[in-house]
Structure 1
Amino acid sequence: MLFYIFAAVAVLSGAYMVLTRNLLYAGFSLLLTLLSVAAIYVLLFADFVAVTQLMVYVGGVLVLILFGIMLSSRVHDKSVMSENVNVGWGITISMLTLIGLSYTIWKVGFSSLPWIQQADTNVLAGQKSTVQMIGIKLMTDFVLPFEIASLLLLIALIGAAYIATDKQKV
């Protein structure tokens, strides 16, 4: 029951985000969408993905977007509004995608899949947190890719700071 509530909130707030002309309302609608997706991850016992969703998207990206919208929303006393161009095409393509995905899901027959047949046991019986296992794997087997990714992010941060600096001639 909770899954359907959070799924409905995610879909409705996502639709409102796409259809509204006010960018600030679209940003807050994106917040609601991302929070409901994180709640769905919690319901699926994907605790690491849910925390990552909250930390990265809600905590980082969305706050940056909202600050950008709020700081630049008044340009010469005119409110920044988006233009809804080709809304009909967007609705048509999304409906065709929904119909195609629904048909595919209906034709698959999930009850015949072997990994679903094996999952007839109690779901909560063997559940453990995945965070500890991911942390151990990240710091032992995958430490080199982790460090390379951190160096690439550091280089991107330094490059962004260099581009953003005011280059005045001395």
Structure 2
Amino acid sequence: MQTGLTSGNEECTVEFRPAISLKAQVQKVELNGKPVRFQVETREGDQHMVVQFPVKSGKYLLRIWLLNEFGCSNQSVLPELGSTSRGLRILSETWSASRDQLTLEVSGAAGSEYELITWDSWEIEKLEGAESGQRPGWSTIRIQILPSELEQYPHKKVVVHFSSAQGKSERR
């Protein structure tokens, strides 16, 4: 993250609280190349790395090094005007106590296929309820919602199992 004051000369404090996955570990945090103190607040569904630093005039570059930061993103598309939504909804994300399994409860239009874009997907050992896929520059999780005459937006459970190897450098 890059920040700084564009006008004035009074010092202010920036507090940055990005969400990170429960599996992630913060290795180090630097501000303009120097170590800076940080905390990690863990909650039921995620963690937040918290860092505060003073800002005066000039530019400030904050860098955060993470290990095991698996994540997935759903690129939602708005329906055409007057149409019903056909997008995938991630209803819940639940991590196992050992943080080696992520369960996603999703809902989507009956008979549709969806893709979640993932990062650090090299950590995935096995998928249940979905398949792994590839796009140029990205790994994906493909989710097929079965056709249903009973439900317009059926639910589906996807379980992501992670390898026990810790750290990308150990894995390569």
Shorter-chain TM-score above 0.5: no
Q: Which has the larger radius of gyration?
A: 1
**Structure (1/2) with the larger strand percentage:** 2
Q: Please give the TM-score of this superposition, normalised by the length of structure 1.
A: 0.19
**Structure (1/2) with the larger helix percentage:** 1
